[in-house]
Amino acid sequence: MQRQIVGKHAEQKQLQSNILQISQEAKAMKAKYDDVIDATVGMLHHEDGRVFKFQVVEDLLQNLTDSEMYAYAPVRGTKAFSEGAFDWVFGPYSDLIRQHFFYSVIPTTGGSGAISNSFYNFNDFGQKVLIPNFYWTPYENFAFEANIS
C-alpha cells in the first residue's frame, strides 16, 4: 500500500497560514482608503448585504463558554473534527476505507484554500484534475500554479 498521498514536489512543504493577518490588514486599509476592495471577506452574504448564517450554528455559538468561544483552534483541526468530516464525506463506507487505504483529513481556512491545496499538494506536475460542472475561474489559476491541467 502506498503511504504517500502528496505529490513529489510538495513533500517538504510546511503548513503555514497568513490569511487571518492579511484579512486584518485588508480591513484596516479599506477603512482608511475608499478605493480598496477587501477580497478576504470569506463569508456568504444575502443580496441585501446581511451576513448569511445558519440558525443552528448561531444557537450553538450562544451556548459556548468563553474558553470554548475564544480559544484558538489547532491549525490541523481537532481529531473529532477530522473524524467527523471523514465520516460525513464517506458515510457508510468510512470503516471500509479506513481498513484498506491510507488517508488524511486536511482542514483549510476556506473553500478556495481547500481547492488550491488539493490541486497543488495531491497531484504531480502534468497530471489532470476533474472539476465540477459549475466552473469557477480561479480553478484556472490553481491549476496553473500546480502545473496541472
Residue 139 has a pLDDT of 80
Q: Are 113 and 19 in contact (CB under 8 A)?
A: yes
Contact 105, 90 (CB under 8 A): no
pLDDT digits (tens, 9 = 90+) for 43-55: 666 667 677 888 8
Question: Position 50: which residue type?
Answer: R
Return the C-alpha cell found at 103: 488517508
Q: Is the whole-model pTM more than 0.85? A: no
SS3 label, residue 36: coil
To the nearest 5 percent, what fractions of the chain are helix, strand and coil? 50, 0, 50
Would you state the pLDDT for residue 27?
80
Phi-psi region of 127 (alpha: psi -120 to 50; beta: other; left: phi over 0): beta
Instruction: From 10, 2, 44, 13, select the one nearest 120 (Cα to Cα).
Output: 10
Burial call 114-143: b when 16+ CB within 10 Å, e when fewer? ebbbebbbbbeeeeeeeeeeeeeeebeebb
> Considering Cα of 86, then 90, then 92, then 97, what sign does the dihedral take?
negative
Name the band, by pLDDT with cuts 50, 70 and 90, for residue 95: very high
pLDDT score at 32: 93
- Interior CA angle at 88 toward 41 and 93, to 5°? 145
